[in-house]
Amino acid sequence: MMISTLNSDSNKPLIMAILNVTPDSFYDGGLLFNNNNVSLDLVTKKVEELIKSGADIIDVGGESTRPGAIVVSQQEELDRVVPVVETLVERFGVSVSVDTSTPTVINESARVGAVMINDVRALTRVGAIQAVATSGLNVCLMHMAGEPNNMQIKPNYTDVFAEVSKFLLDRVNVCELGGIDRKKILIDPGFGFGKKLEHNLTLFRGLTELSELGFPLVVGLSRKSMIGSILNKPTDDRLFGSIAFAILAVQKGVQILRVHDVSATADALKILSVVEGVGNI
């Protein structure tokens, strides 16, 4: 299913599978590396599994954005991401999103067939808006307070929902002025990106209102520290909490779930759709 179908009458939530081609991502960093390089053989095996499990979109990231992460060089990000995107598009014909903030990576990803940019920095880097506008790609704008290396150092808000909503709408306006079609814009409140647990919960409770702003809503809650804080469990034991949040998010109007656990998420969504009378057994 292509991203453009989000602007159709389809209400089916989409599963965006996380594919980290990084050595240091918080949950699965380094799993697709061999001798310190990204292994295309490991990548294709993993993606084949993700597609069979129910992934609609593969989200490729070459720079970790976990708390405390170090920014990688432009060339290193290109070397990690572009061959992977090209391989996935050619081999599987799947919709590929690229998790990047770097204009050159945006341009090169578009060249090899990506359909969407997923930017934790909401296209604030110089040249990023122009790169998306020129390429015609869809783009997800996410809220983040600060940068990955400092975002969790005493995050503070007067009204987190109002401030995050304003930031996203302001970025939408700037992107439109920069030539990006409004119909190609998605938004993400950025759970865990410069937020304490209380901030994340406030934002989650307001997802229905956020979904009514007029843009497809993307959320990434999979195995995050907010789940660990609630359940007092390590990353490896957060599957059930992740699924609970995913189902609640869809019920609040979320259209794309960015997840690590595709098969479990797809099963849960199948149950939800049948119970609500919109899916078939």
Residue (of 171, 109, 173, 161) closest to 135 by Cα position: 109
**Other beta carbons within 10 Å of 280:** 6
User: Is 258 considered catalytic here?
Assistant: yes
Residue 186 dihedral angles phi and psi, to the nearest 5°: -120, 160
**Other beta carbons within 10 Å of 74:** 14
Task: Choose the catalytic residue: 121, 195, 223, 224.
Answer: 224
Q: How many helices (H) and strands (E) does the chain have?
A: 10, 10
User: Is 270 considered catalytic here?
Assistant: no
The H or E element that residue 98 is part of is strand 95-99
- How is the beta sheet containing 256-259 ordered, strand by strand? 185-188, 138-142, 116-119, 95-99, 57-61, 14-20, 256-259, 218-220
- Residue 140 pairs with which residues in a beta bridge? 118, 186
Estimate the crossing angle of helix 262-275 against helix 40-53, to 10 degrees.
10
Task: Choose the catalytic residue: 171, 184, 195, 258.
Answer: 258
Q: Which residues are catalytic?
A: 224, 258
